[in-house]
Amino acid sequence: PRWVYGFGNGSADGDAGMQALLGGKGANLAEMDRLGLPVPPGFTITTDVCHWYYRNGRSYPPGLIGQVRDSLARLEAATGRGFGDPLHPLLVSVRSGSRASMPGMLDTVLNLGLSDATVDGLAREAGDERFAWDSYRRFIQMYADVVLGVDHDAFEEELESYKDEAGYLLDTDLSASDLATLVDRFKEIVAEATDRPFPQDPGEQLWGAIGAVFGSWLNPRAVTYRRLHNIPDDWGTAVSVQAMVFGNMGTTSATGVAFTRNPSTGERALYGEFLINAQGEDVVSGLRTPQYLTRSGAAAAGSDAPSLEQLMPELFAEFRAICDRLERHYRDMQDVEFTIERGRLFMLQTRGGKRTAEAALRIAVEMADEGLILPDDAVARIEPASLDQLLHPTLDECAPRDVIAAGLPASPGAAAGRIAFTAEEAERLRSEGHDVILARTETSPEDIHGMHAAAGVLTTRGGMTSHAAVVARGMGKPCVAGVGSIRIDPKARTLKASGRVFGDGDTITIDGTTGQVMAGLVPMREPELSGAFATLMGWADEIRRMKVRANAETPSEARAARAFGADGIGLCRTEHMFFDDGRILPMREMILAETEEGRRAALAKLLPMQRRDFTELFEIMHGRPVTIRLLDPPFHEFLPQDPAEIDTVAATLGLEPERLAERLKALSEFNPMLGHRGCRLLISYPEVAEMQARAIFEAALIAGRSTGAPIIPEIMVPLVAARAELDFLKARIDAVAAAVMAETGRRFRYQVGTMIELPRACLMAREIAESAEFFSFGTNDLTQTTFGISRDDAGGFLQHYGQKGILKFDPFVTLDRGGVGELVETGVARGRMARPDIKLGICGEHGGDPDSIDFCEELGLDYVSCSPFRVPIARLSAAQATL
């Protein structure tokens, strides 16, 4: 079998479609090569080798060594150099790359092939001894760290002490002979730490590096990253070996990274950073402050350092043309890495760029407008869950701000919280219920769990492409990076800014959109849903078949639902209306009444309140459908539980506390979730259903008149298991409707349907549908009753299920297709047998979950209903489900 694929000189064996085999990096290097772009030649060892490696006790498949030898020979021919050749040494980088990009997770080794034998050759060829010895020094350090596991601090310390001895301040003060001495010392460090001399044979170096890349697939950082991003462990990594080009050969050399559009805002403008006379990760390491690629980029950031556009205008033009070409070719914003070696440009990587949700929207919409992609593609590209980020608050512009520092606006949005100086502390404060701002000099992959726990991230070093910036953008968390004027001392646990000291318990606010850092908590404002967001949602609305309703009962929820574009209300939980101050009293009177007359008297007090509630809801929804569920929870939920409260409540109700306690005892149930609730309660006390039905009908008439929009209320009976339950209540509701019509002399339409939330209801759906005009699948209860798992108690053990791999997802978040889904499907099919045009919807939490929405589309449901703030996510998901 073929284990190795070459690239270079425009004749790559692979292409962009082979990401699974060659990894994203290898596949895209091949693709760029095919496009005729300047890519240093090399070859990629496939992910199949990685699989083989792990299945066979970390060894290599037969044939690999020969194939690598042949590829290396071709590389020597292509570059006119020899691996280990003292006169014209071939140096390579050994790079990892999986199908999904895993920034910073797997380590790259540069300058491989340098040795005592080749360093002079490099010096002669480059005409620069210092460069050659510096490269050798860096190589030993990197190789020792990545491949041999020697802590790189040992080298840094050696370097610092050497500089001290020599009285130097900067690395650039070191001469070639200084560096040669340092190389000797570095080799000693390696020999001491590993009991073996530093490998001088380039073949040994190469296989050491290849093994380290494959080995790094299972390093803890990589494993954590994959777990957080749901990347399967069995994808494996490929290894690309590529001829080195040098961005550190003096002032006509440089290295940099760029996005073809602005990854924070999506603006159509080349965006990136570079460093003159630098190599590899120098740009993103945060150790030197990079310069901007474009004039406008530098201006926007207030940077005085000249841009690449100014320094090397011709090269910049070439680079810009390549970026345009790549963007048109991939039809997406690209994240590229490049190096300039003595005035020659080389492309080292391209991939789809990570971006904020805001940028993703703007880029998708603008690319569709530019004709690069279709509106359908634009809709398909946006991750529905990412819309959440846009729905997050920004700082209130009018609120006073106590600005203490400013840095780079690395990831937009505002956040406030207590200062945490370490990732562990961030996690702890979060678990104690505090919002947290993680404040670090810079972040590394070890900080990822802390970044997850934090509401926002602040760093004092590093640029827009630093680790903190990239990871925060990916997580959709606000981040301000490179705040040079702040001093963070994690040992003393202080943050100093503007001559002030902040520490434990202090709150700060960051604004990742402007880069400001403020003392205290600055009030925030809800986001605007216009521009690209509105355009894209408009396209989604044209594409989607299913309606999206909201679960809403209060006027403010209903208004939010409308603002987010809900097509109606799919679930109005009426019980929530009884908890208000003015209502709980008559509600309790009703529950505690001994007789039907007593109950009716209390209900009469509740009627006008409910009528007002429903009128307002109908008015806000302006003729859009509203499904109102009759009272569902057991009575005891409305009564005081705490003994201290019992006395006061008894007093307000004019009851003896003993009587109240007795009644409470009578109402208490072993298993309330499966107890006297839903239609069972309404069958015991039909006067409750009658009051609610009357309030609904009267409100519909009032709102119909005030809005001029005819209202057809949908009354939903909860927890039905048998048709007879529904029939009993439907008869009462119909009787109330007839009475209201007679009293008012006005006819109106309405529908009576049921919530399908018990397994039996799914099975008996055909019979039930003979009476029900609509079904709404209440998948929260249906999941509870199907699994026999109480949702309120599940947190404790479902967590273990997740950790132990028993359940791969939380069935209360994502609909369990195999079990619960099967019941829903049965309910749908049987319901349609009795009533082919029965209206079908879903109103559990799953109504806002993209995967579950997909399933609803497959079943051909008429609508999904979810909480108001998830409505945009559901609209987009519903559109994607049809594509």
Residues belonging to the active site: 467, 843
- Candidate ranges 103-111, 489-497, 727-735, 743-751; the one touching Mg ion (CB under 5 A): 103-111
d(CA 342, CA 131): 13
State the nearest-atom distance from the C-beta of 755 to ligand ADP, in Å: 51
Asked whether residue 779 is marked as a ligand-binding residue, the answer is: yes
Residue 339 touching ligand ADP (CB under 6 A): yes
Secondary element (H or E) of residue 378: helix 375-381
Q: 275, 323, 348, 518: which one contacts ligand ADP (CB under 6 A)?
A: 348
Phi and psi of 327, rounded to 5°?
A: -65, -40
Strand order in the sheet with 344-352: 291-292, 271-276, 254-259, 334-341, 344-352
Asked whether residue 780 is marked as a ligand-binding residue, the answer is: yes
- For residue 288, give every residue at least 6 positions away whose Cβ sits within 8 Å of its Cβ, in sequence order, or none: 275, 278, 282
d(CA 428, CA 436): 10
Q: 81, 95, 187, 723: which one contacts ligand ADP (CB under 6 A)?
A: 95
Q: Say if residue 42 is exposed, middle or buried (CB neighbours under 10 Å; 0-12, 13-18, 19+).
A: buried
Q: Are 363 and 381 in contact (CB under 8 A)?
A: no
Binding mask 23-52 for ligand ADP (x = CB under 6 A): -----------------x------------
Nearest to 326 by CA among 251, 270, 387: 270
Helix axes 686-707, 596-621, angle to 10 degrees: 30
Residue whose CB is less far from Mg ion, 37 or 64: 37
Asked whether residue 381 is marked as a ligand-binding residue, the answer is: no
Residue whose CB is less far from ligand ADP, 28 or 785: 28
Residue whose CB is less far from ligand ADP, 339 or 786: 339
Q: 281, 541, 770, 851: which one contacts ligand ADP (CB under 6 A)?
A: 281
Asked whether residue 17 is marked as a ligand-binding residue, the answer is: no
The token pair at 253 is: 């050399």
Residue whose CB is less far from Mg ion, 14 or 713: 14
Q: Are 868 and 550 in contact (CB under 8 A)?
A: yes
DSSP 810: -
Residue whose CB is less far from Mg ion, 29 or 736: 29
Partner in contact with 411, chosen from Mg ion, ligand ADP, none, beta carbon below 5 to 8 Å by kind: none
State the nearest-atom distance from the C-beta of 338 to ligand ADP, in Å: 8
Segment 453 to 512, residues that bind ligand ADP, using CB under 6 A: none
Cα end-to-end distance, the chain, whole Å: 38
Residue 93 touching ligand ADP (CB under 6 A): yes
Segment 142 to 161, residues that bind ligand ADP, using CB under 6 A: none
State the nearest-atom distance from the C-beta of 336 to Mg ion, in Å: 9
Nearest to 767 by CA among 712, 702, 835: 835
Residue 104 touching Mg ion (CB under 5 A): yes
Question: How many Cβ atoms from other residues are within 10 Å of residue 295's Cβ?
Answer: 14
Residue 409 touching Mg ion (CB under 5 A): no
Partner in contact with 40, chosen from ligand ADP, Mg ion, none, beta carbon below 5 to 8 Å by kind: ligand ADP
Q: Say if residue 86 is exposed, middle or buried (CB neighbours under 10 Å; 0-12, 13-18, 19+).
A: middle
Binding mask 222-261 for ligand ADP (x = CB under 6 A): --------------------xxxx---------x------
Q: What's the per-residue H, E or C state across 217-232?
A: CCCHHHHHHHHHCCCC
- Candidate ranges 345-353, 497-505, 526-534, 865-873; the one touching Mg ion (CB under 5 A): 345-353
Strand order in the sheet with 487-489: 487-489, 494-497, 500-502
Cα four-point dihedral sign 512, 513, 518, 520: negative
Q: Say if residue 85 is exposed, middle or buried (CB neighbours under 10 Å; 0-12, 13-18, 19+).
A: middle
- Candidate ranges 63-71, 104-112, 184-192, 775-783; the one touching ligand ADP (CB under 6 A): 104-112
Secondary element (H or E) of residue 276: strand 271-276
Residue whose CB is less far from ligand ADP, 245 or 758: 245
State the nearest-atom distance from the C-beta of 469 to Mg ion, in Å: 14
Partner in contact with 89, chosen from ligand ADP, Mg ion, none, beta carbon below 5 to 8 Å by kind: none
Q: 28, 349, 389, 615: which one contacts Mg ion (CB under 5 A)?
A: 349
Residue whose CB is less far from Mg ion, 339 or 877: 339
- Candidate ranges 103-111, 155-163, 568-576, 685-693; the one touching ligand ADP (CB under 6 A): 103-111
Partner in contact with 244, chosen from Mg ion, ligand ADP, none, beta carbon below 5 to 8 Å by kind: ligand ADP
Partner in contact with 67, chosen from Mg ion, ligand ADP, none, beta carbon below 5 to 8 Å by kind: none
d(CA 242, CA 39): 9
Q: 337, 447, 589, 849: which one contacts ligand ADP (CB under 6 A)?
A: 337
Residue whose CB is less far from ligand ADP, 104 or 409: 104
Partner in contact with 242, chosen from Mg ion, ligand ADP, none, beta carbon below 5 to 8 Å by kind: ligand ADP
Partner in contact with 93, chosen from Mg ion, ligand ADP, none, beta carbon below 5 to 8 Å by kind: ligand ADP
d(CA 436, CA 700): 47
**Number of residues counted as binding ligand ADP (CB under 6 A):** 17
State the nearest-atom distance from the C-beta of 276 to ligand ADP, in Å: 14
The token pair at 133 is: 């010895």
DSSP 633-675: S-GGGGS--SHHHHHHHHHHHT--HHHHHHHHHHH--S-GGGS
The CA-atom distances, in angstroms, between 807 and each of 489, 804, 812, 816 are 43, 8, 12, 10
Beta bridge pairs of residue 47: none
- Candidate ranges 333-341, 519-527, 766-774, 793-801; the one touching Mg ion (CB under 5 A): 333-341
Partner in contact with 236, chosen from ligand ADP, Mg ion, none, beta carbon below 5 to 8 Å by kind: none
Asked whether residue 55 is marked as a ligand-binding residue, the answer is: no
Nearest to 470 by CA among 462, 419, 527: 462
Residue with tokens 């939903």: 716
State the nearest-atom distance from the C-beta of 240 to ligand ADP, in Å: 7
Residue 110 touching ligand ADP (CB under 6 A): yes
Residue with tokens 């510096």: 134
Q: What count of Cα atoms within 13 Å lies in the side-chain half-sphere of residue 269? A: 13
Residue whose CB is less far from ligand ADP, 60 or 338: 338
Q: 14, 26, 84, 104: which one contacts ligand ADP (CB under 6 A)?
A: 104
Residue whose CB is less far from Mg ion, 349 or 356: 349
Residue 141 touching ligand ADP (CB under 6 A): no
Partner in contact with 339, chosen from Mg ion, ligand ADP, none, beta carbon below 5 to 8 Å by kind: ligand ADP
Q: What count of Cα atoms within 13 Å lies in the side-chain half-sphere of residue 827? A: 33
Binding mask 34-53 for Mg ion (x = CB under 5 A): --------------------
Nearest to 733 by CA among 598, 839, 628: 628
State the nearest-atom distance from the C-beta of 110 to ligand ADP, in Å: 6
Residue whose CB is less far from ligand ADP, 104 or 450: 104
d(CA 336, CA 272): 9
The CA-atom distances, in angstroms, between 130 and each of 138, 154, 244, 248, 252 are 12, 22, 18, 11, 16
Partner in contact with 245, chosen from Mg ion, ligand ADP, none, beta carbon below 5 to 8 Å by kind: ligand ADP
- Per CB under 5 A, residues contacting Mg ion are 104, 337, 349
> Residues forming the annotated binding site for substrate?
573, 629, 757, 778-781
> Residues forming the annotated binding site for Mg(2+)?
757, 781
- Per CB under 6 A, residues contacting ligand ADP are 40, 93, 95, 104, 108, 110, 242-245, 255, 280-281, 337, 339, 348-349
> Residues forming the annotated binding site?
573, 629, 757, 778-781
